[in-house]
Amino acid sequence: MKSDNARAGMQQAPARSLFNALGFTKEEMKKPMVGIVSSYNEIVPGHMNIDKIVDAVKLGVAEAGGVPVVFPAIAVCDGIAMGHVGMKYSLVTRDLIADSTECMAIAHQFDALVMVPNCDKNVPGLLMAAARLDLPTVFVSGGPMLAGHVAGQKRSLSSMFEAVGSYAAGTMTEEDVDNFVENVCPTCGSCSGMYTANSMNCLTEALGMGLRGNGTIPAVYSARLRLAKQAGYAVMDMFNKGITARQIMTKDAILNALTVDMALGCSTNSMLHLPAIAHEIGFDFDISFANPISEKTPNLCHLAPAGPTYMEDLNEAGGVWAVMKELADIGLLNTDCMTVTGKTVGENIANAVNKNPEVIRPVDNPYSKTGGLAVLKGNLAPDGSVVKRSAVVPEMMVHEGPARVFDSEDDAIEAIKGGKIVAGDVVVIRYEGPKGGPGMREMLNPTSAIAGMGLGSSVALITDGRFSGASRGASIGHVSPEAADGGPIAFVHEGDIISIDIPNMKLELKVSDEELAKRKAAWTPVEPKVKTGYLARYRELVTSGAKGAVMKTPEELRK
């Protein structure tokens, strides 16, 4: 056992004295030591129940013959961090989570791990750590929130942000907004639509790293506690069989996850996180992989914000495995990939059933014949940009209009809410990328303001930042290279015509190459917005959004 490095032999007698101080018995010292990575805290609604999940995991591990030991991971609530400087500190935690988990696991020589995340950066950060550590590892999340109810309709956090836009447009009263505040987030759990947290938790199942239902069983259901105990059993089974994370998280598994992503209509943020996870296993994931997979993968689900269904509905309809069964039946998944059950994908999903063909459309009746995401390229985004096309209204799939240019999210929100943006405009928000932000803020406030003011079917938004999974509309993010790196988005002038053609994967600035070259020659890099602390270090180390905003390797730093 790896833990023997820290516990066995005369040399480790001092360490044994410290385990003794922890209350370990001699019998426990001979058993596998399983780290339970707890993301519990009291500021994130998706994490406030994780203490109970952790307790259930501990029971499962102990019953199966291991010794559970809990240590923490941080997590940021994107909804609370949204719209102010706090959002700069969201994406950047992904690497802190991966690095700190690596430190704890190796320093203490755990034999296996159970990851208990839930929200946006927490899940991919721990997946990155799992790939890096290559131990027997199982994921069990805190689970999604139940949908809220307002005026007899199911609602969620995206409705809340759009209500603020409606208030600015004069179509809602303060009392109406307060009604949303009281009712859209009724329970603990990750927000109830197919936002980033739920997208990534669903993709743990597609990757083979989570048990059935990990992405969809609501946080408040007792089935979530049973799942947590089963995760404890499963990790001990993996330990006994010698199954480790990298045997599961292979190139084929990541491509499976991308395929399932397309069918589910996941958040655009998965196009940051899947490349980062792939990077940890040495797989050079080009975001352009999305397009050929999208072209052959039908979009089967329209969960909020794309449609009127929620995570609880997907769970009742058969969950992620039912979606995977639909895809496997037409040959779109590699069913030979290993999973945390000790069985292959094909064996796991063999008996999965689609119980509601309106929530999970059959492959012969999809919402669209192509997947939920698209990567657009052109002279405005030579390295690519990402749009959740399943959440774009038909009339905005092709759009051309004048650029309204802002060098920060805050300036754009002021203009939108001030009525300065009109139908046909293309809002450009730049210097909000991984370096420029720094931290690549989510743009849920401006997209929600556009939707709430009734402009969702006539105004596009383009940024080198990113979007919340709760964003909808013609919202194109991750424009690369970013403005801070001298990408073409830095050279857009007010009134320039921008052409968006999502079906043909094009994003073009209607300016000649010669004019762009002149603008580039005259461009002066802007002063960094942050010069001290973690964000300053992050700015120096982070790569492009097109590369998943991963940290530079030592070789890249030496160049």
Q: If you ran DSSP here, which 8-state letter would residue 552 be given?
A: P
Token duo for residue 470: 């709760």
Length of the chain (residues): 559
Secondary structure element (H or E) that encloses residue 229, with its range: helix 222-241
In whole angstroms, give the CA distance from residue 521 to residue 180.
50
In whole angstroms, give the CA distance from residue 516 to residue 510.
10
| 3-state SS assignment for residue 280 | helix
Inter-CA distances, 392 with 156, 264, 417, 458, Å: 18, 15, 21, 11
Active-site entry in 38, 458, 468, 480: 468
In whole angstroms, give the CA distance from residue 198 to residue 216.
8
| 3-state SS assignment for residue 394 | helix
Measured CA angle at 134 (ends 130, 139), to 5 deg: 35
In whole angstroms, give the CA distance from residue 305 to residue 318.
20
Do the beta carbons of residue 444 and residue 423 sit within 8 Å? no
Inter-CA distances, 58 with 36, 116, 136, 243, 342, Å: 8, 11, 16, 20, 20
282: left (phi over 0), alpha (psi -120 to 50) or beta: left
Backbone angles phi, psi at 318, to 5 degrees: 125, -10
Please report, for the chain, how many H helices and E strands are present, in that order. 22, 14
Do the beta carbons of residue 376 and residue 387 sit within 8 Å? yes
In whole angstroms, give the CA distance from residue 239 to residue 244.
8
Q: What contacts 333, CB < 8 A, 6 or more positions away?
A: 256, 259, 260, 324, 327, 345
Return the HEC string of 308-364. CECHHHHHHCCHHHHHHHHHHCCCCCCCCCECCCCCEHHHHHCCCCCCCCCCCCCCC
Cis-peptide, bond into residue 434, ω within 30° of zero = no
Active site residue 38: no
Do the beta carbons of residue 91 and residue 261 sit within 8 Å? no
Residue 108 CB coordination number (10 Å): 16
Kindly list the catalytic residues: 468
